[in-house]
A and B are shown apart, each in its own frame.
Chain A
Amino acid sequence: MMHQTIKRDGVETIGNPHLSLEGINKKYGLVEVISNLNLEVRKGELIALLGPSGCGKTTTLRMIAGLIAPSAGKIAVGGRDVTHIAPHGRDMGLVFQSYALFPHMTVAKNVAFGLEMRGLSRADIANKVAKALSMVQLEHLAERKPRELSGGQQQRVALARALVIEPSILLLDEPLSNLDAKLRDEMRTQIRDIQQQLGITTVFVTHDQVEALSMCDRIVVMKGGLIEQVGTPHEIYERPATPFVASFVGRTNRVKGKRTADGCIRIGSSMIRSATPAGQDDVVVMVRPHRIHIDWNATSTEQDETANRTAAVLSRITFIGDVIQYHFDVDGSEFIVEESTKKSQSSHRHGDKAVLSWSVEDTLVFGADQ
């Protein structure tokens, strides 16, 4: 379970976490959907729970909110154990994937709801609601009903409703997944700006790696109820701890190889080197497609200390607009290489020979059974 600790190299240990999950376990009958999950979140941090559907990220979020009781483990906020506190006593702002706006209330009433539950005076409520709505630029729609709003507007109302109660933690459950692509980009920036401005500790559930990479301070990659890796976006991308992380975050080539006696790795007839040690004989080698350089004219595949080189034969070209993908055959293994497209594309064809080279640093090696 080495991936469950956040005390890896390059990540400072959190002295006084604002939110901590200790040994969280969730079972439905005999099926364990979350196993021994440990996580600490700093005050003011925006952390993403990233993973494919069914990985347990939403279950984890709902346990933090108190909507589901964990089968075992402890959840603490600011040092206070909230494991057995009902959702209404937890002081958390929750934004749902479906927004969950109250259809029978106006926008203003929706936002005021949490404040009314806290027994604030009418004047205070009106004041705070106005502020919250101006923060999401919806003052002019205060008297509308949710059904009269667009998806993006509903999303912002949900955000204002969750933030107006000044929660100790903001929980976002796939908040952008129902928006169209353009709006999603806008909302990413807006949510990040508001989060920074308020300095609010935020847990963000998403299956979209771009959202996680672009918005968050740290990312928790989950799979099958387990944490695969916790780290900054940069760490997750550049130093994935597992093959799953490497292939889930960003695109990657995945080739089987064998470790030889001198520490090199044999792929077909090519020998390559990597900076990461892997203890096993059977290994998986991963290289990001855009980190590979194609030399169409070179013939030498001489290795040096910093670069791996291998001869390859072009088998297919796929044009995807801003990127062009070259599919190469390297001794029976497929390598995909991506290059930015230019206006005048040199024409290469099926069967063309080339030499692929990439930095030893960019060569990720994992044990084959991982």
Chain B
Amino acid sequence: MEDNPTSWFMRITVTILFLFLLAPVLLVFPISFSGDQILAFPPSSWSLRWYEALLGNNVMMSAFLTSLGLASVVTVLSLIIAIPASYAIVRLKVTGSEFLFNLFTAPLLLPTIVLGLAILIIFASMGLLATFTGLVIGHLVITLPYALRVLSVSLGNLSLACEEAASSLGAKPLAVFGKVTLPMMAPGIVAATALCFLVSFDEVVITLFLTGPRMTTLPVELFHHVESQADPLVASVSVLLILMTLAVVMIVDRTMGLTKAMASGRAVSMSTVADAT
């Protein structure tokens, strides 16, 4: 097949399409080193001025810290809430557990623009707009379904035998959970952690409805900045965002190996309708 002209045609097509797919992300890196005042590609000169501008930009830096704190709190809460929930649904098999699972993952089926508006209206009446608490709850609405899904799959794939063995060896239910179930769920927990962190850190649409001048996140600030002036500062912030993501992915890779992460990452990305746009 090597000399087949159609296969060459195919390869060239695929290469061009991959370029199309990756171009906008790759372009951000050279632009961030632009020495120009305005956005232009290729830049007429190179410099680190936009990284300096970023460090000197109090709004961006405080939004970055807010995002970091928000994503951390949301991730920890997601695990604390979703681990017991997945246990109740998968292990205790309560009546209607399938319905509950569908209900708790349903927020992912709604477009974020609709969900964001819906939450805005309710939170306005509760005084939760532009508050950290409001943002945490808003983000939990979409991180919990991811966490619940990943953790339930991970728990469901565990054979009951180990837990039964532990209890026959004299472990009380809580000890069985703490010493056997939880450690065996570790890969799922790592995946859920990474996913919740990334989803929360990158969330824009719902957050747009919930933030205000008092309280804003990095992606939202970035959005507003692009809306008003698409200068190379955006590129340096983008590089920061991409590096954050890369760091999280690398940590997951180190902890559980690329293939496993890929497998769960693929399962998750297939199952989502939210987040990307």
Contact = CB atoms under 8 A, between A and B. Distances in A.
A65 B186 contact: no
Interface string A275-302: 0000000000000000000000000000
A102 B184 CA distance: 8
A65 B168 contact: yes
Interface in A89-114: 89-94, 96, 98, 100-104, 113-114
Interface of B: 159, 161-162, 164-173, 175-176, 179-180, 183-184, 186
20 contacts: A66-B168, A67-B164, A67-B168, A87-B164, A88-B169, A88-B173, A92-B168, A101-B162, A101-B165, A102-B184, A104-B186, A114-B169, A117-B171, A117-B172, A117-B175, A118-B170, A158-B165, A161-B169, A162-B169, A165-B170
A323 interface: no
B161 A98 contact: yes
Nearest to B158: A103
B186 A113 contact: no
Top 9 closest A-B pairs, CB basis? A114-B169, A100-B161, A117-B170, A100-B165, A94-B168, A87-B167, A104-B183, A88-B167, A100-B162
Contact of B180 (A65, A86, A102): A102
B189 to A, nearest CB: 12
Given A96-B161, A104-B184, A117 B169 contact: yes
Given A67-B164, A94-B165, A100 B170 contact: no
Per DSSP, chain B at the interface is helix
Interface residues of A, number: 28
Contacts of A171: 168
A31 to B, nearest CB: 18
A88 B183 contact: no
Contacts of B171: 88, 113, 117
A94 B164 contact: yes
A162 B169 CA distance: 7
Contacts of A103: 162, 184
B190 to A, nearest CB: 13
Contact of A86 (B165, B167, B175, B183): B167
Given A104-B183, A117-B175, 8 more contacts: A65-B164, A86-B167, A87-B164, A100-B161, A102-B180, A162-B169, A165-B169, A171-B168
Contacts of A94: 164-165, 168-169
